[in-house]
Structure 1
Amino acid sequence: MDRLTSLAVFVAAVDEGSIAAAGRRFGLSPVMAGRYLSALEDHVGVRLVERTTRQLNLTDAGRAYFAKAKRILDDLQEADHEAADLQATPRGSLRIAAPITFGSLYLGPVVAAYMAEFAQVEVSLHLQDRFVDLIEEGMDLALRIGQLPDSNLVARKLADCQLLACAAPSWLAAAGVPTHPEDLARHQLIGYLGEVTTAPWSFTSPQGQTFNLDYPCRFSANNTAVMLAVALAGGGIVYGPDFVFARHLQTGQLQRVLPDYRSPVLPLHAVTPTARYVNTKTRLFIERLKGAFAGASPWLGKTEQAEAKIRKT
């Protein structure tokens, strides 16, 4: 008998809890489905399930075989989808979730280029500074910054974000330039307040000594764009991911504070729901994201990228 069908009937019987239910999935009678299962057991030379009138129970051998059989069938299905995708034109709605500031600063050009390339896809971008439940909220993918919690989501790393502290030259001229992390206690601090936080502020010296600081912030906000605006207006020293401040550091509107100290690196990931298979329109958008954001801190200029690379070593 066809071995692939036997494998599929076996996995379906375990998933459904009965041989009859597995047969219905493939349009087989219970007797024929049972024959496929028996043929598989004859082939491997070991009993995979213990049958009773009411239920199926996996043997120890069956439990191990089931895990690998399911993986084989999933891989085959994914290969079928990917082969079909090579000839498919992406179409339909693409729903993306992303952090507010990152999305507003950097996703516009990527989305515009993607829509120009794939005219039959409609894109909706949902900007919010919280972890979105992709399945519950119907998202095709999300961009997430920081270490990911354990989950069944499939993550693809795009780039690294470097945390740093900076301030307007006017603030530093009036309040002084810190030369040590503990000098920050004498400054007005601007920090993030929300579900995803960067506290405590962390700095590691060239000698390897780390300072984790939890000084009170004079101003806190749950939006990094507002934090940026306060810092640009001379409201104090702000701490956050480099992509928020990059353009203003390059123009001199902001000045890096404690540049000789390293701060943590946060990865930028594109995450998709639990299914291993990613549809065409989502896969192609992720590829465009990789092209736009490949490397360490791609929003920094070449000089700043080189300096950031040195600080990480």
Structure 2
Amino acid sequence: MFYTYVQIAFHILFTVKSPLDCEIRSVRQIGGNGIDRSFYHIVIDHQGQYSFAPGQYCGILPPGVSSRTNRRHAPRSYSLAPVLNDDGVDGSRCFSLGIRAPIVAPGERERFRDICICSQFLSTAGSGTPVQITGPFGKFVLSPEDLNGETNLLLIATGTGVVPYMGYLDTLLKSHRLGSKHGKILLVFGVQSPDTYLYRAALEKYVSEFYGRLQVLVSYSRHGAESERGYVQDMLLKERRLVQSVCGSDGRSCSIFICGRKSMEKAVLSSLGEVFSQHPDLDCMMSNIKVEVYE
């Protein structure tokens, strides 16, 4: 696994022993495959007491006690993102999460009693439900050079791995409007089907707002003709010329980010190694890739 972390001082303000009391403002489903998973957009009101850098994550403390340990449930980590325009809330006092939750059939409730506790809690919560959070954590963040528009960006994601990039794009768009000239941004996003293409409308809006600077490539693993299906690592190889152009043109360096399930990490790194096999600074490029993966 390759990591490069920006040398910025981050302060964890809230811990398991001293969490921040917040309130869930809204929960809405934003995707699902109708078989084993659904995806939800959660808006949490922190009353302006919680700040984070785009790319960081928080811990959510689900209520209750584990039947196995007789102790409070452990916190679950979720990437933080700004709220969307159509959430209808004050962005200075709220943030959002994009989560995956299991589809639990009536006959499987016992099996899920002690697993996926936090995602089940969040996905079924109503407006006004209290929730405790910890953090912020993590250094999967944009560098000062990225924020100043000095680099091109290659963002690679699967599933809810797209969530931290929503914060990146929001931040970069705001500085873009202030006059900073950004390089190219390429998001390569792997999903099962159009029904699990998370934040599609928001991403398409970003594409239009960046005026040609942002491009999104979507790889469907279970949709379309068999010859057209593939995973995100396959899309990197299929569109290698485009990927190479982002990471080797216009005199800019390129920052590469990978976020998603741990099972895709090795294959994505292998594809990147093949795509950039002729790059004069291959070792340096690969060693500077920033990775955030989860089980």
- TM-score, length of structure 1 as denominator length: 0.25
* More helix, by proportion: 1
Higher strand fraction: Structure 1 or Structure 2?
A: 2
> Larger C-alpha radius of gyration, 1 or 2?
1
